[in-house]
Amino acid sequence: MPPDTATSDRPASPPDAEGWATLKRFLPYLWPKGDWPLRRRIILALVFVLGAKATILTLPFAYKGAADAMAGPVSDGASVALALVAAYGLGRFTSVLFDNLRNIAFERVGQIATLNLAQDVFHRLHRLSLRFHLTRRTGEVTKIIERGTKSIDSMLYFLLFNIAPTAIELIAVGIIFYFNFGWELVAATAVTVVAYVLVTRWITEWRTKLRREMNDLDGQALHRAVDSLLNFETVKYFNAENREEARYSGAARAYSEAAIKSENSLGLLNITQALITNALMAGAMAYTVWGWSKGELTVGDLVFVNTYLLQLFRPLDLLGWVYRTIRQGLVDMALMFDLMDTDVEVKDMPGAPALVVSEPQVSFQNVSFQYEDGRSILNGLSFDVPAGSSLAIVGPSGAGKSTIGRLLFRFYDPQHGRILIDGQDIKSVQQDSVRAAIGIVPQDSVLFNDTLAYNIAYGAEGASDEQVAQAAQDAALMPLIGRLPDGFDTMVGERGLKLSGGEKQRVAIARTLVKNPPILLLDEATSALDTRTEQEILGTLKRLEQGRTTIAIAHRLSTIADADRILVLDGGSLVESGTHSELLAKNGLYSEMWAQQAAERSEESPAAN
């Protein structure tokens, strides 16, 4: 097996996690290439944004006019004030209308962008090597994908509808203040905004580190929970409930401490932001009152300044939250892009053709393989399996038997040598076509948490009900299905745990029958079964082998004694080869293993009696 390296050694995020590299990687989802219907929606949404912003910027003028009209004689100002108040109310409604029309126009863009990203990640994960999936923790990978895909919708929304409109509003307010109050108020506003942005950035950088720590601890807690629940029976076998609870509690407690730090830092940020913005508000209004006392400004100017600053502070308050969200989103998305950028170990050659199988013969030619440097698994292994024949591979544990199956399926490529199917090197053809030509009945048949019919039909896309029923019949599954109230619609449970070992093996056989491959790999398909069930499954397997080239990897020698040829591996090398009788006559490793297993069977028989 490949080494089980811990993922905790991986960096929390790549060096440019919050930089332009991540943003550039994200932009194609913001502006999808060639998708003009979505691009038109984005443009329309931006038009609504500008309309809402223009409306908001005109409202304080109406408010100021109403206040000045009310400051004069009632007979002269009532109608004017009333008209301006009505205009103010209509303007606020128009702003809300534009905002919601913007959301309606943009909703499809956000959802499709999220969908495209999720599909890209799922596509990539299924094309990564078996080594990747054996060394990564499922819970952590799931959490990274969840956070990353959820980030894109908020990223799209904030970049388009908050950052850019806020910048426009800041410039517009500066111009308006300059022409109405002079450069002093403009300078004070500019200094305040710069201070606000810098403080927000500094504190948010600190909070981003806390966020990374939270992500790591959250993923660790989720991994421990998922791992424990997947191994529920093992936990029960060893009375390890308290140990598992302690492991999970430790991770969850560490996460809660990190969450407390993060929330406390948020409180500090909000206090600092409020201090800066309210200082400007007080100073600007005092400046207006001072101008009114000198007869240079009116009561309406006080309302005018107050309204503009309140409108400006609203996106500024959101700007702090938006900045934090974008920073956190960049971290989450960078981790997901890092996952997507993981090198695909097994790749098709450019322009590789599909495998064409007319004579399903298999050949290993001087194949050497190691999972990691210095740990050799196979050493110059060579053998041929003629079309329609059966080959068995046996040997002690660690001899490299299961590795042969992984190489045949091209989960890995050998460092040296070639593997041929019908004379074609499987490295030079499409790996999907290689796997389409091979069916497998593994030792541990893991099923989807779905119906019996779904799991059987999984062997071939688009399998008909008739094919499923015939496969179930040929795999001797019908007696079981006949006893079940829901028949083929019976749910098999997580990993097929509602079925016995023999029943799962029959489902795996039926699934392979639906696939109908020319080459069959039996990877210790009966070693986990009791003797009676094993004999029943062996009879079914013999029917499955008819007309196919079969490679059987076996632990129990009695199950492969009738194979056309038997290979004996030891330490990754071929040490013996021949038929069952020929190998017994050699008095070598095979003969020794046979005698040992025969003695074990003899000891088991009196005990059973």
Helix (H, G, I), strand (E, B) or coil at 261: helix
Q: Does 394 lie in the same domain as 274?
A: no
Q: Measuring CA to CA, which residue among 12, 22, 339, 13 is closest to residue 155?
A: 22
Residues forming a β-bridge with 385: 362
- Per residue in 235-260, pLDDT tens? 777 777 888 888 888 888 888 888 88
Structural domain total, the chain: 3
- Give CA separation, 167 vs 50, 71, 154, 164, 308, in Å: 12, 34, 19, 5, 15
Helix (H, G, I), strand (E, B) or coil at 105: helix
- Per residue in 72-105, pLDDT tens? 665 555 676 677 778 777 878 888 888 888 888 8
Q: Does 45 lie in the same domain as 127?
A: yes
For residue 4, give the DSSP letter. Answer: -
Give one DSSP letter per residue of 447-507, joined into a string.
Answer: --SSBHHHHHHTTSTT--HHHHHHHHHHTT-HHHHHHSTTGGG-B--GGGTTS-HHHHHHH
Look at 432-436, 523-527, 562-566 and tell me which has the smallest mean pLDDT.
523-527
Q: Which amino acid is at 151?
A: S
Instruction: Determine, yes or no, domain membership for 349.
Output: no
Residues forming a β-bridge with 574: 569
Question: How many Å separate Cα 461 from the centre of its chain?
Answer: 24
| Greatest mean pLDDT range, 134-138, 186-190, 210-214 | 186-190
Q: Does 258 lie in the same domain as 395?
A: no
Helix (H, G, I), strand (E, B) or coil at 359: coil
Q: Does 476 lie in the same domain as 334?
A: no
Question: Which carries the bigger pLDDT value, residue 53 or residue 131?
Answer: 53
Which two three-digit tokens encode residue 522?
């039996």
Which two three-digit tokens encode residue 272?
């600092």
Q: What is the mean pLDDT of residues 550-575?
A: 86
Q: What is the pLDDT of residue 11?
A: 39
HEC secondary structure over 110-131: HHHHHHHHHHHHHHHHHHCCHH
pTM over 0.85: no
Neighbours of 557 (CB within 10 A): 20
Helix (H) or strand (E) holding 603: helix 589-608
Alpha-carbon gap, residue 585 to 230, rounded angstroms: 47
pLDDT score of 413 more than 70: yes
For residue 348, give the DSSP letter. Answer: P
- For residue 491, what is the domain's CATH number? 3.40.50.300
Average pLDDT over the chain, rounded to an integer: 79
| Angular region, 546: left φ>0, alpha ψ -120 to 50, beta rest | beta
* Those residues with Cβ within 8 angstroms of residue 14's Cβ, 6 or more apart along the chain or in another chain: 334, 337, 338
Helix (H, G, I), strand (E, B) or coil at 3: coil
Neighbours of 365 (CB within 10 A): 16
Instruction: Determine, yes or no, domain membership for 133.
Output: yes
Instruction: Determine, yes or no, domain membership for 350.
Output: no
By residue range, what is the domain housing residue 473? 445-516
Instruction: Answer with the one of 516, 538, 571 that is the final residue of a domain.
Output: 516
Instruction: Answer with the one of 516, 539, 574 that is the final residue of a domain.
Output: 516
Alpha-carbon gap, residue 556 to 564, rounded angstroms: 16
Q: What is the pLDDT of residue 73?
A: 61
